[in-house]
């Protein structure tokens, strides 16, 4: 239910003559009768000097207090404020509905408590409007950010984002900051794949975006925790872990693939001589092959000292863990790609490698010398790496021929 034809293009927002990207800032609310008036009036006052055409969309999703009457009153008070009511709860549901129907070129959102300083809004939107990235997010965990929040939320946030970084290989540092913007035409195809209607919506959006090759830009922000926040930290953390397992399964089975409009780098000079696609993929394959060779050497250097005071199986596990950490970090830094699925495959390869290398060393007759044992287990690990590279070679160069 809308207070006016909110989804009809407004001359101020979509006038082609302006040649400026328009911005729709969504504020999802649930029982926020206290915070909503101050939020909208402060934001509208700030946006009076904003260099891009804008509007504010309040989405009330299931409030039982006076939030909806206040939202309609604010929409009547300001020409560029619109209100919409949903019958279902959840921040994700509110953003999905508003972003799907928005007439603006860029969709954004922020929390009603305005915990994030508004000075970061233009840098956030500008990175998307300029074409530098498809999605931009505020981060409280980067250099240059300043935050004030409780120790519990600090520990939970850093732990959760570390899990994303090392478990999925993501490049962004803060998935949960309620301060994001995206190109509308790019984010809409992702909406069909996002299943969460609540707090995990943000993480799922970013995981799918990076998995499908979209660029995520981060803006350091100043952030102050609001004691009246509706976030239930422990319950949200549990729901997030369930969501991560679901997304990991989608990535590993290929169901997370989305056809999105990705911009590719193009030369500025009209007579530029470009490197062929096969040369680029060959360079990437060479980087991955180098990682494989180094990992075999690292495995041998790790297994030998560990075997001095551990059993063969324990020493093998320790060496695999060390090389696994190296492989994840090296692949993330030197070989770009769809990191989510790659990390799922890496976990499967780790399990396979542990079983085969352990079986090889345990199959040796009793009394076999240490050099033979080390040589066998390193050779087994090396063969597994070689088979993986051979499979990768067929995949890489079959793609370059398409």
Question: Where in the sequence numbering do the catalytic residues fall?
Answer: 202
Q: What are phi and psi of 148, to 5 degrees?
A: -130, 110
Query: Rounded distance, CA 92 to CA 196, Å?
Result: 6
Other C-beta atoms closer than 10 Å to the C-beta of 258 total 18
Cross-sheet strand order for the sheet of 216-220: 81-86, 54-61, 23-29, 106-110, 179-183, 135-139, 216-220
Cα dist. 365→169, 372, 383 in Å?
41, 11, 21
Angle at 347 between CA 376 and CA 260, to 5 degrees: 140
């Amino acid at each position: 239910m809308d207070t006016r034809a909110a989804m009809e293009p407004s001359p101020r927002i979509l006038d082609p003559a302006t040649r400026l990207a328009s911005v729709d800032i969504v504020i999802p609310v649930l029982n926020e009768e206290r915070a909503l008036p101050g939020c909208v009036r402060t934001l509208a006052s700030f946006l009076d000097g904003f260099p891009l055409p804008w509007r504010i969309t309040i989405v009330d999703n299931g409030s039982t207090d006076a939030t909806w009457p206040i939202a309609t009153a604010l929409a009547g008070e300001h020409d560029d404020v619109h209100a919409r009511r949903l019958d279902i709860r959840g921040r994700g549901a509110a953003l999905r509905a508003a972003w799907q129907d928005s007439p603006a070129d860029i969709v954004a959102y922020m929390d009603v408590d305005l915990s994030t300083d508004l000075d970061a809004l233009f840098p956030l939107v500008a990175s998307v409007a300029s074409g530098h990235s498809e999605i931009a997010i505020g981060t409280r965990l980067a250099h240059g950010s300043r935050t004030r929040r409780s120790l519990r939320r600090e520990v939970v946030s850093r732990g959760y984002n570390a899990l994303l970084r090392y478990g999925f290989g993501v490049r962004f540092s803060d998935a949960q900051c309620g301060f994001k913007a995206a190109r509308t035409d790019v984010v809409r195809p992702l909406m069909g794949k996002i299943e969460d209607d609540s707090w995990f919506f943000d993480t799922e959006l970013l995981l799918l975006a990076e998995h499908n090759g979209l660029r995520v830009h981060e803006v350091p922000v100043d952030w102050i925790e609001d004691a009246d926040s509706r976030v239930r930290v422990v319950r949200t953390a549990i729901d997030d872990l369930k969501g991560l397992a679901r997304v990991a399964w989608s990535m590993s089975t290929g169901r997370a693939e989305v056809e999105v409009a990705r911009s590719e780098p193009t030369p500025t000079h009209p007579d530029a001589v470009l490197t062929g696609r096969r040369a680029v993929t060959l360079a990437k394959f060479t980087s991955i092959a180098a990682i494989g060779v180094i990992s075999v050497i690292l495995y041998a250097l790790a297994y030998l000292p560990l075997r001095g005071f551990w059993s063969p199986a324990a020493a093998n596990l320790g060496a695999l863990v060390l090389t696994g950490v190296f492989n994840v970090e090296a692949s993330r830094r030197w070989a770009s790609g769809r990191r989510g699925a790659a990390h799922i495959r890496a976990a499967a390869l780790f399990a396979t490698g542990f079983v085969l290398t352990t079986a090889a060393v345990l199959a040796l007759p009793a009394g076999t010398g240490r050099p033979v044992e080390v040589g066998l287990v390193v050779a087994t690990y090396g063969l597994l790496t070689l088979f993986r590279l051979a499979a990768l070679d067929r995949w890489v160069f079959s793609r370059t021929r398409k």
